[in-house]
Amino acid sequence: MNIVFLGPPGAGKGTQAETISNTKGLLHISTGDLLRQAVKDGTSTGVSAKEYMEKGLLVPDDVVLNIIAERISSDDHKHGFVLDGFPRTLVQAKALDETLRNIGERLDVVFYFAVSEDTAIQRLSGRRTCKTCGANYHVQYIPPLKEGICDKCGGQLYQRTDDKPETIAKRLRVYKEQTEGLIDYYKRNKVLKEVKGDWDVDKTYRMITKVLETIPKHHRRHKEESFLGDNSEIYS
């Protein structure tokens, strides 16, 4: 099952993506996390991404497409994946369609997290992120058990530079200009499901799970499956 979580920054995509991928055994791919890791590691991808991220701008498509291609081609997504924060432009959406087509797969559902601008701003400005594992918290709504410390790994929590007020406003604008159009794109492809991002975490989770239960398990054509293997019942 291949899923995309689409929506403005602060809509709650990351929180849901983490839970859903854990319970459904899907690979959670967050381009934001991958990019932040690249920045931390000082790789060439990280070096070119850093200035865009700090300004709240989108990292160029070719850079993002490279890290996605690397991730999807690795062999740990047997049950599928949850893409969180990708695609963010039409170029990325089309590239994703093509990548999936090439490996005989497709998107099953795109969840669009609709959220008011006020809620998004509130969520982002109170967000705290783990330095070590990237888990997200909120000072008010999802506080860690111990202030400043990650429940999952004991790492230190910090406020991302792009979660400061000026950059938040910029990111919301960038979303409107460059990403919002994907809602129509996926509506036309008949895979879009809207989720109210203003709901509480549990209610949103239940809604997503309910939708996932209605999705038929399609046969995944793996490259390694031979033609004979696919039609073995004819010969047995």
**Catalytic-role residue among 160, 164, 193, 220:** 160
The item of ligand ADP, Zn ion, none sharing an interface with residue 150, based on CB under 5 to 8 Å by kind, is Zn ion
Residue 21's binding partner among Zn ion, ligand ADP, none (Cβ under 5 to 8 angstroms by kind) is none
Active site residue 152: no
Q: Is the peptide bond before 87 cis (omega within 30 degrees of 0)?
A: yes
- Residue 59's binding partner among ligand ADP, Zn ion, none (Cβ under 5 to 8 angstroms by kind) is ligand ADP
Tell me the closest approach of the beta carbon of residue 151 to Zn ion, in angstroms. 8
β-pair type (192-196, 81-84)? unpaired
Closest C-alpha among 72, 67, 81, 83 to residue 4: 83
Distance of closest approach, residue 42 Cβ to ligand ADP, in angstroms: 17
From 5, 8, 32, select the one nearest 107 (Cα to Cα): 5
Answer yes or no whether residue 29 interacts with ligand ADP by CB under 6 A: no
Q: Which of 94, 106, 152, 173 binds Zn ion (CB under 5 A)?
A: 152
Does 38 sit near ligand ADP (CB under 6 A)? no
Q: Is 171 a catalytic residue?
A: yes
Residues between 42 and 61 that touch ligand ADP (CB under 6 A)? 52-53, 56-59
Residue 155 partner contact from Zn ion, ligand ADP, none using kind-dependent CB cut-offs of 5 to 8 Å: Zn ion
Query: According to the binding rule CB under 5 A, does residue 132 interact with Zn ion?
Result: yes
Sole residue written with tokens 């994703």: 96
Binding site for ligand ADP (CB under 6 A): 9, 31-32, 35, 52-53, 56-59, 64, 85-88, 92, 162, 171
